[in-house]
Structure 1
């Protein structure tokens, strides 16, 4: 159970972060490993609660509370405290296919619902998880484990993000023959091209893909289903299909001047930056922030990643517009525990901007009303108002590069139309419920952001795992019907 009263007697610590002035000069991960002694001390703060809210994995007040993949957090915390690292890894791997991803890119709703956080600081769950999986790779415990037997069933998974990889991993463990199709030239989905290397270095993604390949999962990259391979061919060659394409259709703004040069969707900007770093591909002017005044429209995590990327590219200045107000320093009465706390924090990109420019780049309640450009048709300024008060005066902001990071509208249309699958107005697949994961099209399933809408990496993994179980059940029932 850790140390008696450990959550009160031991101060909470997280992984240290590299000095902002130094890390903005490279694209390496900004966090540092926590020493073993410190990790074990932090694990001692876990009290193994009678009801561990850290692993409830549900939605409260439209936000995620606890761990959606139901990680056995108190169990591996206690094992780490006792120095039983191998056993801790075994517990972690029971529920989480990819701890090396979640421990880097998940916002840790488990910590927001930690019972210790009700009266003190929550347990440093994310840092402990990171230490377990780092130790597991370093010790050689993470090795390919191909299934002992194979079935004759073939499943196509379309999309190689965390949902697609988790689904493929689970189905392959059962013994089915899984092929993952990815239209990009490299597997990983947003893990590879959408998330900057400062959060997840790309060799970490490649390492997991190679492990899955060694276990028998086949990855076919550069294949666009519906163009390179038809829907009819997929149905003919596979016993089931799982659509894990993500929710890549970005939201846009429809205001005067949107057609000017220098205005781009955030994900296109981040993808171009990642490709430039991986392959040396030259950056188009609209994706290069060097020497430019950058404005990011949208106050979420994607917008923050744009801020950090622009800083590393050498921007002249950067400002991030948010639709909502500044979060409070402490939980409000309308945001009680165990809901995920909506409180103010200075995350990595904002810390870097403050260090470089002397101020937090975030501006609140900003409504963009108009873009204006120069004679050559390039954006040079924005006109804004306020979402808070119509009486506030309009303000002009100078800008040479504008990035739109206001969210996503669901899955792209063409592939789902090819399979005859309908989507709701928010872009999510209709009829693929939380149990069957099957769409209106026989033998075609959907999981991840394509089914649920854009959300956290842990939800994507949980979706992939559950969809895999649903596919296996579907194949068993189909076989039973044939035998009878």
Structure 2
């Protein structure tokens, strides 16, 4: 702890944003990182609380008080070393993680929490600008070969850890560029893709081999991510060539809305809409791009993916954007005495909402209406939520005479993802849980079964493939932990951090 009274003297300094009228004209990032002085002052607010709940609030267990203090002292190189000791890609989390660490900050009980995410953002951006992020190839090779299926944050984290342990790692990606849902699910205005590209270059210099446009197993029967795979590799070939295999694909099977009129054109999953704009930003030509330009857009789903649809629609020049959420509107301020240090339920307004959006809660979609085969309106009704006195579960009932018609030229379904696409899991014969995810425990089990190991010998699973739709920071955690399990499987023991 650098400044003993810092938390009493210094207020939280939020990162600045480019004004909405300006940022709506482009797809670049618009968040301005803290200056060195601002980051130092923010680090000084860390209050030596005795038990740093922020560490447990962070899924990768970042050593937050340490790098806060180092930034306060302006020791940026050591702050980077501390940050990288737990997190392979802080430039990803510093941009798109919702910061559960800040919800767990002890200072946040009665004041604004420390701006941990903004400090992390400042550390890693300064490190890249000064050339401090360098490849760390293994001094010795083990002769073992590992295949990783999926190049999202879980796959990339596992690849880097295993390559640094001396294994020969090959990452297979069905799309034409590396990054998984980071590449084609996150809009560029939230995270520009050069952050992925330079990490890929680093991993290549550390010995990782990337094979894009390559599908493992059978062609999926349902996926919303544009599949550009040009070649196919069988499970038998992989198992013959590699000593261990990690399944680290994303959760791409979207939750559908089986409502009358669903067959009308103009109704699309969010992950049909968002990747197209990312491809265009990357220089691809899409003559039939799905656009919101001049349209009344309805976004169904109140989470982050829905927010991304709002921001992209506004940048494309939508005539109006409306977002529906089935659950009631959360309170503006959580009851910290009941929720801290856990992630609270409260009203969250994203930067995309601030750019222009009508939001509505406790509303259900009854049907879609259309003309000449195209959607023209969404018909909704209000709902009430009540707790069942016997089971304690919340139940929903429709409010009588509450139907409402909303004009709609484009409807985007952003209600989350139910499971990874089953074709890869099925091709390997991996057992799944009740939600369709790969069945694998996060801790070592009986009879020597290792963490993240599936029922198939030599095959492991991590990230969304194992836990379902989740945060980038959880994917990095699972990729790192799975890498340690694979290293232990290959070598009998492991020095990789868990």
TM-score (norm 2): 0.91
**Does structure 1 retain, via aligned residues, the 8 Å contact 2:440–2:461?**
no
- Map of 2:392 onto structure 1: none
Structure 2 residue 263 is the aligned partner of structure 1 residue 259: yes
- Map of 2:15 onto structure 1: 15
Report the alpha carbon displacement of residue 145 of structure 1 after superposing the two structures with TM: 1.4
- Map of 2:329 onto structure 1: 326
- Map of 2:225 onto structure 1: none
Secondary structure of 2:254's counterpart equals coil
**Does structure 1 retain, via aligned residues, the 8 Å contact 2:149–2:171?**
yes
Q: Which deviates more from structure 2 when the two are superposed, residues 342-351 or residues 402-411? A: 342-351
- Map of 1:444 onto structure 2: 459
- Map of 1:470 onto structure 2: 485
How far apart, CA to CA, are the structure 1 residues paired with 2:73 and 2:122? 14
- Map of 1:385 onto structure 2: 381
Show structure 1 runs of 5+ residues with no match.
57-65, 354-359, 480-484
How far apart, CA to CA, are the structure 2 residues paired with 1:99 and 1:325? 34
Q: Alpha-carbon deviations, 1:164-213, whole Å to 9, x = none?
A: 00000110110000000000000001111100001110111111111111
Q: 1:188-267 to 2 correspondence within 5 Å?
A: 188-227=179-218, 228-267=232-271
Q: Alpha-carbon deviations, 1:13-52, whole Å to 9, x = none?
A: 1110110110000001020121111111111000232110
Q: 1:85-234 to 2 correspondence within 5 Å?
A: 85-227=76-218, 228-234=232-238
How far apart, CA to CA, are the structure 2 residues paired with 1:363 and 1:272? 27
- Map of 1:50 onto structure 2: 50
**Does structure 2 retain, via aligned residues, the 8 Å contact 1:76–1:91?**
yes
**Does structure 2 retain, via aligned residues, the 8 Å contact 1:380–1:399?**
yes
Q: Alpha-carbon deviations, 1:55-90, whole Å to 9, x = none?
A: 11xxxxxxxxx1010001000000000111111111
- Map of 1:63 onto structure 2: none
**Does structure 2 retain, via aligned residues, the 8 Å contact 1:335–1:341?**
no
Structure 2 residue 434 is the aligned partner of structure 1 residue 425: yes
How far apart, CA to CA, are the structure 1 residues paired with 2:280 and 2:33? 27
**Does structure 1 retain, via aligned residues, the 8 Å contact 2:487–2:493?**
no
**Does structure 1 retain, via aligned residues, the 8 Å contact 2:109–2:336?**
no
Report the alpha carbon displacement of residue 218 of structure 1 after superposing the two structures with TM: 0.5
Report the alpha carbon displacement of residue 252 of structure 1 after superposing the two structures with TM: 0.4
Secondary structure of 1:461's counterpart equals helix
Q: 1:304-453 to 2 correspondence within 5 Å?
A: 304-332=307-335, 335-353=338-356, 360-375=357-372, 377-388=373-384, 389-435=398-444, 436-453=451-468
Q: Alpha-carbon deviations, 1:352-405, whole Å to 9, x = none?
A: 01xxxxxx4211011001011112x01000111123242251111100000000
Report the alpha carbon displacement of residue 4 of structure 1 after superposing the two structures with TM: 1.9
Secondary structure of 2:195's counterpart equals helix
Report the alpha carbon displacement of residue 333 of structure 1 after superposing the two structures with TM: 6.8
How far apart, CA to CA, are the structure 2 residues paired with 1:55 and 1:297? 34
Report the alpha carbon displacement of residue 434 of structure 1 after superposing the two structures with TM: 3.8
Report the alpha carbon displacement of residue 449 of structure 1 after superposing the two structures with TM: 0.6
Report the alpha carbon displacement of residue 476 of structure 1 after superposing the two structures with TM: 2.3
How far apart, CA to CA, are the structure 2 residues paired with 1:279 and 1:12? 39
- Map of 1:482 onto structure 2: none
**Does structure 2 retain, via aligned residues, the 8 Å contact 1:17–1:31?**
yes
- Map of 1:60 onto structure 2: none
CA RMSD, 1 decimal: 1.5
Report the alpha carbon displacement of residue 283 of structure 1 after superposing the two structures with TM: 5.3
**Change in CA separation of 1:94 and 1:324 when aligned onto 2, cut-off 3 Å:** same
**Does structure 2 retain, via aligned residues, the 8 Å contact 1:48–1:75?**
no
